Chain A
Amino acid sequence: MKSVLDIIAGVLADNGLVTAFAFVGVTVWVSYWLSARLTRGRIHGSAIAILVGLILAGVGGAATGGKNGLADIQVLAGVGFLGGAMLRDFAIIATAFGASFDVLRSAGIAAMISLLVGVLGSFVVGAVVAYAFGYHDAVSVTTIGAGAATYIVGPVTGTAIGASSEVVALSIAAGLVKSIMVMTGTPFVARFIGLDNPRSAMIYGGLMGTTSGVAGGLAATDPKLVPYGAMTATFYTGLGCLLGPSIFFFTVRALMA
């Protein structure tokens, strides 16, 4: 006969997405409670919820040895689906409902500049760091630099130019560090960089580029800014994948020859 625990685990696993709704709901509730009680609302509940999510991801990863954080624990596999690219993009697009088209249009040029500067800036910083840490071949330097753009640009670039799997892994890690820092740090720096209007949110999205980081960071800062930042951020990875294995790689190779 099955034990009650087995039956509970079975119910949770069989209804993965529903389990995820309940689980995330409780996480958010606890986070808002912590926000109100411990920080008197100074640190926004959603910022704490995202931080709690990341800590849980670390716990899940440590417990299972997998790479999908909490979603690798069988009864919580639905969290992976709820937080996966499909539903995330679906919800991000929905946030555009009610966004002002005039703002999008008037900030268009600045947003495009921010995209170029953002990709180039991250790439240069990442490449310099890679060089400083002893990577002196053009392929590795380019790949790690691309990883500092986003954790998708890194492996796409690395695969295209034939980087070693160790370097590709490093580029993904760099992108993850960036994404996590943007996710958790945005609410704390928002005031100092004037991140309080749709226009600067668009520029911020273009400069940072990590869709998950920007989406999470802006949600924790002011949910009304999300569509503006997300709009430009979604062009970033494509632009990075375009420039990384081509212009950036050729430039690095020429500089290091």
Chain B
Amino acid sequence: MVIYGVALLAGCMIAGVFVGDILGEILHVQANVGGVGIAMLLLVLITDRLRNTGRLPKPTAQGVAFWSAIYIPIVVAMAAKQNVIAAIRGGPAAFAAGALAVLVCLVLVPVISRIGREDGGAGGTRVADIGDAPETGGHQRGAGGHP
């Protein structure tokens, strides 16, 4: 049933955010440390396991796939609720700090991409290779599609 997929996703999120909060407490940080990332790892591991043992029927997968596909509209809604006015009002200091940070980090992307690439065999895998594998369930994310 579709709800199994949605519930699985919800369970992963609650568990991940819980661990993230615990980490935040342990490290004395007033923030969640990687909760969403931990939830993502959980989801990958659990669905992988279920798929390999043949316990991930299509409706269950659809329950997760729907939320994955609705992701871009949610990002659009997220963009529409940003405090754009505050960003503009921050003036030149805020603009310079934010913009220069972006530029510096952009330049570093190719530099760090080179680290450990020689020994990491799967490192250079193109997205297309993964997306094309039929059993990954990754295809539905292309639904946003290039026109």
Contact = CB atoms under 8 A, between A and B. Distances in A.
The judgment on whether A and B are partners is yes
Interface of A: 20-21, 24-25, 27-28, 31-32, 35-36, 41, 44-46, 49-54, 56-58, 60-62, 67-71, 79-80, 82-84, 87-104, 106-107, 109-110, 113-114, 117-118, 121-122, 125-126, 129-130, 132-133, 144-145, 147-149, 152-153, 156, 159-160, 169-170, 172-183, 185, 189, 193-200, 203-204, 206-208, 211-212, 215-216, 219, 222-227, 230-232, 234-235, 237-239, 241-242
A31 B43 CA distance: 32
Nearest to B40: A96
B81 A177 contact: no
A236 to B, nearest CB: 9
Nearest to B115: A110
Nearest to A124: B104
A104 B44 contact: yes
B83 A103 contact: no
A170 B137 CA distance: 43
Give the dominant DSSP class at B's interface: helix
Contact of B131 (A52, A82, A126, A224): A224
Given A61-B85, A93-B43, 4 more contacts: A97-B68, A98-B137, A113-B115, A177-B95
A170 B31 contact: no
B90 A69 contact: no
A96 B85 contact: no
A58 to B, nearest CB: 4
B87 A185 contact: no
Interface string B23-65: 1100101111111110111011101100000000000010011
A39 B96 CA distance: 30
Contacts of B120: 106-107, 110, 199
Contacts of A232: 37
Given A122-B104, A129-B100, A238 B36 contact: no
The range of chain B's interface size is 35 or more
A35 B72 CA distance: 15
Contacts of A24: 73-74, 76-77, 80
Given A83-B80, A176-B82, A238 B41 contact: no
Interface of B: 9-10, 12-13, 16-17, 20, 23-24, 27, 29-37, 39-41, 43-45, 47-48, 61, 64-68, 70-102, 104-110, 112-113, 115-117, 120-127, 130-131, 136-139, 141-142, 144, 146-147
28 contacts: A24-B76, A28-B76, A45-B144, A58-B88, A62-B85, A67-B83, A69-B81, A83-B75, A89-B13, A93-B43, A94-B67, A97-B44, A97-B68, A100-B130, A103-B130, A121-B101, A122-B105, A125-B104, A156-B29, A170-B90, A174-B90, A197-B124, A199-B117, A200-B109, A215-B71, A219-B72, A222-B127, A242-B27
